[in-house]
A and B are shown apart, each in its own frame.
Chain A
Amino acid sequence: MTVTPKAHSKPKVAVYKFSSCDGCQLSILNLEDELLDLASVLDIAFFLEATRTVKPGPYDVGIVEGSVTTPHEAERIKEVRAECKFLVSLGTCATAGGIQALRNFARVDEYARTVYSHPEFLQYLETSTPISAHVPVDLEIWGCPVNKGTVIEALAALLQNRKPNFPPSPVCLECKLRGIICVAVAQGIPCLGPVVHGGCGALCPANGRGCYGCFGPSSAGNFSALVACMIPHDRYPNETANLLRSFSSHAPAFRAAADLALKAATGKETK
């Protein structure tokens, strides 16, 4: 799809925030070496965290950070979709619901009572859901937070009217490419690397710990096999399930695998 409306005019870009920590928007501001160049080829028409200037839509590209967690957001995302030709979900909140999707496995009213003395003042939905659960999304960029290189590749691809090159390989392959000794095999540390989308550069195994899944599920992952391997190595009750139920917990592959892990754990206890 082409996002450049006509030759010599800069595509109009809007950046929106939904429920999130602001970290993925910050990843755009953290493009210190590229930010001014980007501003010369893109018309940053709406980006509240960076500028007071608000140019009216429609926009060529909309970039959404965050998940949908309130009735207001559920309505607002439809308006966002209507004013953007090409819509990008930026980061694991927008692509999978984020850490706040842990409410999807609990009773959110109890959370509200735990945290706020007057939960009746609050407006929230029972679930935290990705942007794609509400409107069609044209491109998803995973990561908690997103990797700067991935953001640049996505924007460059949009400007050049090509598909972005996002390798489908898992974190496990990135470890091998970096020559990192496998933390799971060598040290028995639970690691989601074999089933998690690459893109971080295997940061956690490089730091001597297991992957905790912040880039979401890899399309090539064999989840049931991994869960079966991991459970015997749980270092505390339900470690495998907890790992799967953290930053990308609402992603379908993670949901199913976490259910499997919990079932296996319960089965073990009753034997």
Chain B
Amino acid sequence: MKTIEVPALARVEGEGGLYIGLKDGKVIEIRLDIYEPPRFFEGFLVGRFFQEVPDITARICGICPVAYQMSSVTALEKALDVEVSPQVYALRRLMYCGEYIESHALHIYLLQAPDLLGQPSALDLAVIAPDVVKNALRMKKIGNEVLKAIGGRSVHPVNACVGGWYRWPDVAPLQALLPELEWGLEAAKETVQWSLTLPYPALEIDYEFVAIHHPEEYGIMHGDVSSSKGNKTSVADYEMRYFEEHVQRSNALHGHTAFGGTYLVGPLARLNLNHAQLLPAAQKALKDAKLKLPLKNPYKSLIARAVELVHFYEEAIQLIKTYQPDGPAHLDLKLKAGEGCGMSEAPRGLLYHRYKIDDQGMVKFAKIVPPTAQNLPRIEADLFALAPKLVKMEQEQATLTAEHLVRAYDPCISCATHFLKLKIGEVGHD
């Protein structure tokens, strides 16, 4: 009987462990253990002024602070019963484009691609394929530059507020990014072509895909929650259909549908449900790729991220070209007691927030459902599906294949709540 131990899972955001239990050569138990320490955001948000919330929730995740800011401002605007102007919304999408570009370029090239190319890291990859890594860093940098031009810095930007923006960003620094964004758009198209040539492990899963869907735009902020099983849920009813369970081995809460099933959020879900809303260059890249949708291989979420990269470069270019700050940057908010929920698509999937505030604007209740918490049961189920193949593999290959699966999810364990330990051993003897 083989026992595989990897001291820690690399190239993910956070710490977790993986246990694969065997009996008589068959896999009987798989667990993804999350050791990321709890930080109790929903506890200390209570008693804070509503306008502090987007700055505080950004600190849940350094990789997707914009997602946290956007879900919280959307929820708090609902609680205050206000709607922002189209210009404010367009600039929010532009900032989100920056985060998608940065996060996807990081994940595709620095976190997942080394698995497909047999390298321990992008730094090692840079030794054998320097141009690939240099281009990847250049692509990623443009996303960070968009974030900087709007919010002052790429990690925990400072310009977003409930009701809009503290200040309209200057037009010139955004326009100055257009040549690099045009370069990035071409590099993203090449990324899609390149992504099709990579040796993905074979695995097809019949997922329930869940994502925000909007008929007129690629759903990331506005719209309903759509499922591949055909049902649509409004953001307000999300908790009725999807909820979290606290599992003993994990500091993260696990998501399930109200019917007990697992579901998948993130790039595969978005691409499968929302490909009709992709902008033309991304549509063309997807068509040229000749993919059969829905994509059901979790490892191929890399391809979905690549197509999304094309989309978000394209959308960023459009939004900068049409950016004309007009009117007040933020609404003049009148305090009132209320409750509101808000959702947005973080690069790794749906992020739900709900708040109650009192008539002084103080937070009375906060609930946050991060994407990785929703995907955790699905990752475990995928590992189960993969297990019969794992037990036949050499140890090193089995370890890499299982780790790769977890990494393909782009899990943000800091969000969900870090070490992945892969142990394959006889249950009761480990």
Residues of chain A having any CB pair with chain B under 8 Å: 17-27, 29-30, 32-33, 35-36, 39, 44, 48-54, 69-70, 72-73, 98-100, 102-103, 106, 108, 110-112, 114-118, 121-122, 124, 128, 144-145, 147, 200-201, 203-204, 206-209, 212, 214, 236-237, 239, 242, 246-247
Contact = CB atoms under 8 A, between A and B. Distances in A.
A73 B15 CA distance: 12
Size class of the B contact interface (CB-based, 8 Å): 35 or more
Contact of A144 (B35, B44, B59, B154): B59
8 contacts: A24-B62, A36-B123, A54-B7, A115-B41, A116-B253, A145-B155, A208-B166, A246-B55
A19 B49 contact: no
B101 to A, nearest CB: 12
Interface in B43-71: 43-44, 46, 48-49, 52, 55-56, 59-63, 65
B294 interface: no
Contacts of A33: 137, 141
A212 B166 contact: no
A191 to B, nearest CB: 12
A206 B148 CA distance: 12
Contact of A111 (B14, B15, B40, B138): B40
Interface string B1-19: 0000001111111110000
Nearest to B46: A114
Contacts of B161: 209
| Max chain B C-beta neighbours (<10 A), residue from A36, A117, A207, A239 | A207
B106 A22 contact: no
Interface in B91-131: 102, 106, 110, 114, 120-124, 126, 130
Given A39-B123, A53-B121, A247-B59, 17 more contacts: A19-B39, A20-B414, A22-B62, A32-B141, A32-B144, A33-B141, A54-B7, A54-B10, A103-B44, A114-B46, A115-B40, A117-B245, A118-B248, A200-B152, A209-B167, A242-B49, A246-B56
Given A33-B141, A49-B11, A69-B39, A17 B418 contact: yes
Given A32-B137, A48-B10, A50-B123, A73 B37 contact: yes
A209 B61 contact: no
Contact of B158 (A35, A98, A122, A207): A207
A180 B2 CA distance: 64
A50 B43 contact: no
Contacts of B52: 242, 246
B251 interface: yes
Contacts of A72: 35
B65 A29 contact: no
Contacts of B166: 207-209
A23 B106 contact: no
B163 to A, nearest CB: 13
A117 B65 CA distance: 26
A54 B8 contact: yes
Given A36-B133, A116-B246, A207-B167, A50 B39 contact: no
B150 to A, nearest CB: 10
A112 B49 contact: no
B248 A27 contact: no
A50 B11 contact: yes
Interface in B128-158: 130, 133-134, 137-138, 140-141, 144, 151-156, 158
